[in-house]
Amino acid sequence: MQKAYYYIANWKMYFSYLQAIAWYNDNKNQLQQLADASAALIICPSYDSLAYIAQLTKSSPVLLGAQNCSEHLQGAFTGQISAQSLKEIGINYCIIGHSEVRTACQDTNKQLKQKLQHLIEQNIIPLFCIGESLEEYHTSTTHRSLEKQLEPIFELLNNRSISTPFFIAYEPLWAIGTGVVAHNEHIISVLAAVKKIMKTCKEFHQFRFLYGGTVTSGTISELKKIENLDGFLIGKASTDFQELKKIVL
Ligand code: PGA
């Protein structure tokens, strides 16, 4: 039997509000089959359609995630969305630290730690992204860079109990949206390094490890050969239902 992976569809800003709803409605019956074949199928639309799609997915096995949240609880923070709001509209997962958000918002480790803290308090499962730049890759400083990026998780969870899984998504920046996928040996070596760093955390068994960056129907079979990988974060390819289907099944 095929291993059941976690599949996270990161829709970024590919769809408008109406397009996202139309995509969901057009594919909702078939999505059930994909969800059944997965450990979990989690769709992350942009903020505008989240609340509406949360209503549509209420009795569906398809789960919903947000693409970011504020490091603040509430207050004068124009344009931001709190973890509490996400919970109230029925969101159970949230991507944090995606490289596109890190670039746009210049998130620091302190801010990322605050975001994680708020999500955990709301029982929202974090999908925490890490990844090295092309320069770091070429200068063999990947592990050092990732170790730094893992600090917020390490500081928060070193001694703390959590009752839900916690996802760490390895997404090399040079593989995101480029058509260039990381080689299996590289992913395996990164996974081993990340696990070594995180293994002293009290709840190490709650960590799940994902790969993201040019996951497509053409790259997935090679990626699925990697042992100890729990799932995939899929950007562009997840917006095409037939592509998504080929990735999952
Ligand atoms: P991609 O994006 O699949 O389009 O490369 C992945 C991501 O940014 O999560």
Share of the chain above pLDDT 90, in %: 91
Catalytic residue among 98, 118, 132, 243: 98
The tokens for 40 are 């979990």
Question: How much is the pLDDT for 158?
Answer: 83
**Mean of the pLDDT values across residues 120-127?**
97
The pLDDT, as a whole number, for residue 159 is: 80
- What is the mean pLDDT of the segment spanning 126-138? 97
Residue 59 clears pLDDT 90, i.e. is over it? no
Q: How far is the CA of 24 from the centre of ligand 1 (A)?
A: 19
Could you identify the atom of ligand 1 that is nearest to the CA of residue 213? 5
Does residue 100 carry a catalytic annotation? no
User: Whole-model pTM?
Assistant: 0.96
CB 88 within 8 Å of CB 74: no
Average pLDDT over the chain reads 96
Annotated catalytic residue, options 100, 136, 171, 243: 171
pLDDT band at 203 (very low <50, low <70, confident <90, very high): confident
How many Å lie between the centroid of ligand 1 and the Cα of residue 133? Answer: 14
* CB contact at 8 A, 71 and 114: yes
pLDDT band at 1 (very low <50, low <70, confident <90, very high): low
**Catalytic annotation present for 135:** no
Bridge partners of 210, per DSSP, are: 169, 231
Predicted pLDDT at 133 = 96
Spacing, Cα 136 to ligand 1 middle (Å): 19
